[in-house]
A and B are shown apart, each in its own frame.
Chain A
Amino acid sequence: MKLILRTRFSPSYFAVIAFVLLYSLISLSGGDSGNEYLYGDLYFALIIGVFSTISIIFGGISVTKSDQEFLLVSAIRRRDLVPSLFSAQFLASGLILLAASLITIFGIYRTSPLVGIAILDVILLALFSVSIGIVLTDRSLFLRVPLAIASLLWILSSYLGFRYGAISFLRYNPVLPLITIFPVTFVSMFFAVRMLSGENLPFRVSGIRRQSSNFRKTSRYAGLSPSAAILKLGITQISLATRASSMGNIKSTARRIQFSVVLIIFVVIAVAYSIYMLFYATPSENVSFPGIAGVNLVTVFLIIYLGSTPQMMMGSGAMAYERAWLSFMSMEPGTYVNLLIISKMFQAAIAGIPIAIAGLMLYVLGVHGTLMIIPVFEIVSPFMVGVYLFMAFSVRPYQMKDENYIPARFSANQFLMILPIIGFYLIAFSILFEPLSLAYLVSFMALILALILTRRDYWARRLNKMVERGFI
């Protein structure tokens, strides 16, 4: 098991997890009362919701190409292999969830003897997320999407009054949710272990069986100028690389999605957001919302997550799929990287248009505080994507040479990618709470962007490093 883990994780990865766990434990000894923990339940609901959705939609078994070619064909007893593969999967993703959520749990249950049961709830939820990801290896989106919706409903049901929902331990009691968590986790773990023990494991992790070999719709690039070709590819296609996200994700997928499909999803989100804001976002006798300075925090968080997470994911594969021997040989690296970054910034801006329009219409209809959605989606989101990609290209990038396999070990570097998101939160919060700050922040963002896009020589030097580290 030790050797299997060493092929997947760097010591720095474990160091980061240990740090977060330690931080959680230290927070236990703080002086704050657990009851005053500031909306920690909302934070936790988001973490577990996003995490389980990512696990279900993109889940699979975390294997390297070497695993497929050497480990899975070796004479290893299943009783040795299965616990190792499961543990590796849990360390790659489940432990991150656990580490990130302990702060919330301790914040809420610090003074209660029920803290142990609440932690058990979280451990089971983490095991569920990891197991369901394994079970769904090589399964199609037609199965994954309904399951993800069901899982999300189960998680959010606690907020709709269901006392046995996945996270109802945050609002009611940590014992009640065990009634649903335990059987769901047990069943998913059973099938996960069965999947890992099965004779078809090597075929299933290769993921070849269920994918069609032809694209139904292809794009044309002939006749375009070099810049137009790069911008067209960057804007019209989304290549997801789930490992590039900072959620301790599970595997890399070479999944190409047409931007037009995503745009439709954003239109649906804009409509749903408008309905929510028009009919449900107003406090009443029966419904109250957490707030600071009269601002509805649920609405603010909604905007911030919608303005950051999808856009970041849309750009996450931009570097992993790069073919440096083709693109950087065909063009000066600085120009190429700049065009790629700009294309993804455009993509984020276009994706945000439906929600920005919704914000404007809501403002015209008299809904308070929706006008600032426009700069959040049309300025801050694209800016954040630019910073994110700049960092993704700079921080030891990896190149996906074979889909379905993690290209390298999990390392602490991926946690650095959280930084642009934190930056986004700070800027978005400032604008939403104090609109006048936009004037200063636009200048600041313009300056940062100028620094990013004028570093052309930097990319020529960077390319050397990429190649030296095996990028090609």
Chain B
Amino acid sequence: MPVVNTDMEESHGFHFSSYCISADGVWKSYGHQDALKGLTLQIPCGERVALIGPNGAGKSTTLKLLAGLLKPDAGSVSIKGFPPNSYEAKKLIGYLPEDASPYLTLSVRENLEYIGAIRNTAGLADRIESLMELLELREFEKARTSRLSRGNRQKLALALSIIHDPEIVLMDEPLNYLDIPTQEKVISFLTDMKATFLVSTHIMSIAERLTDRCFIISHGNRLWEGSMTELRAEAAKDTPIESIVARLMSGVH
């Protein structure tokens, strides 16, 4: 059991946690509509987890809560023991929402430099060069972002979310709009990153390649949790993984 530093806890709103991402009994509603109903999930540091669920299951809400953009109505959320909207948590998190839009009136380079600067990124110039190289954004360096294709905007959004080399990465459908060669590059890059990942996706092949474990949620609650191997073991060898997930989501065991 780790030692708890109570002085630090009191002064920084910090609560020691061996988990990098933690949500405990979280409820969140929009008006009369409940998005999350007592969701609990805990992800140890260094683990890569996929968040899977049908439309309206509460995946994006979970990520927004963990990113500190929303506050839970009940329950608690923490990032390495810090409240998600705290300065300490923000330094650790890289967040990519679904259909993310960078600053439309800035060029690609201006976007990277601006967010890199306000993120206080060390070695920013080199970081920008390597991200532009990796994501093949160099030819659009001076292009106005509003003129970029949806795929190139997504590449830029990806770069912006990880420009500060975050310890904890929260991504909502990160490979949307990307062509297959770029998907391959991004998967390879993300799997090489030494970070804790929580990735929401509908595409099981991507979940399998990017992550080791998965949470299946539906109607704002956790239905199933386990490793990808355990997920596969849920059915016969030749059954497609999508069929297994669909069966789990519908609650038929």
In the complex, are the beta carbons of A226 and B118 less than 8 A apart? yes
User: Known contacts A213-B147, A254-B146, A329-B93; is A222 also within 8 Å of B69 by CB?
Assistant: no
Q: Which of B96, B105, B113 contacts A321 (CB 8 A)?
A: B105
How far is A147 from B142 in the complex, measured between Cα atoms in Å? 31
In the complex, are the beta carbons of A460 and B118 less than 8 A apart? no
In the complex, are the beta carbons of A329 and B117 less than 8 A apart? no
B143 interface contact, C-beta 8 A:
yes
Q: In B191-235, which residues have CB < 8 Å from any A CB?
A: none
Chain A neighbourhood of B169, CB < 8 A:
none
B115 interface contact, C-beta 8 A:
yes
Chain B count of residues within 8 A CB distance of the other chain: 42
In the complex, are the beta carbons of B117 and A464 less than 8 A apart? no
How far is A237 from B105 in the complex, measured between Cα atoms in Å? 9
B83 → chain A closest CB, angstroms: 10
Chain A neighbourhood of B95, CB < 8 A:
325, 329
How far is A117 from B90 in the complex, measured between Cα atoms in Å? 63
Instruction: Indicate the size class of the contact surface on chain A.
Output: 35 or more
In the complex, are the beta carbons of A213 and B143 less than 8 A apart? yes
A323 interface contact, C-beta 8 A:
yes
**Stretch of B18-26, B119-127, B244-252 on the interface side:** B119-127
Main SS class of interface, B: mixed
A218 interface contact, C-beta 8 A:
yes
B196 → chain A closest CB, angstroms: 16
In the complex, are the beta carbons of B117 and A222 less than 8 A apart? yes
How far is A272 from B29 in the complex, measured between Cα atoms in Å? 57
In the complex, are the beta carbons of B115 and A330 less than 8 A apart? yes
Chain A neighbourhood of B71, CB < 8 A:
461, 464
In the complex, are the beta carbons of B105 and A327 less than 8 A apart? no
B98 → chain A closest CB, angstroms: 9
In the complex, are the beta carbons of A464 and B69 less than 8 A apart? yes
Interface residues as binary, A334-353 with B (CB distance below 8 Å gives 1, 0 otherwise):
00100000000000000000
B85 interface contact, C-beta 8 A:
yes
Chain A neighbourhood of B107, CB < 8 A:
214-215, 218
In the complex, are the beta carbons of A326 and B105 less than 8 A apart? no
Q: Which of B93, B102, B103, B120 contacts A226 (CB 8 A)?
A: B120
User: Known contacts A214-B144, A256-B144; is A331 also within 8 Å of B90 by CB?
Assistant: yes
A324 interface contact, C-beta 8 A:
yes
**Listed A/B pairs (12) with beta-carbon separation below 8 Å:** A211-B144, A213-B143, A219-B110, A222-B124, A226-B117, A237-B105, A256-B105, A325-B95, A326-B160, A329-B93, A330-B118, A472-B64
CB-based closest 8 A-B pairs: A229-B117, A221-B113, A256-B105, A213-B147, A226-B118, A221-B117, A221-B114, A222-B113
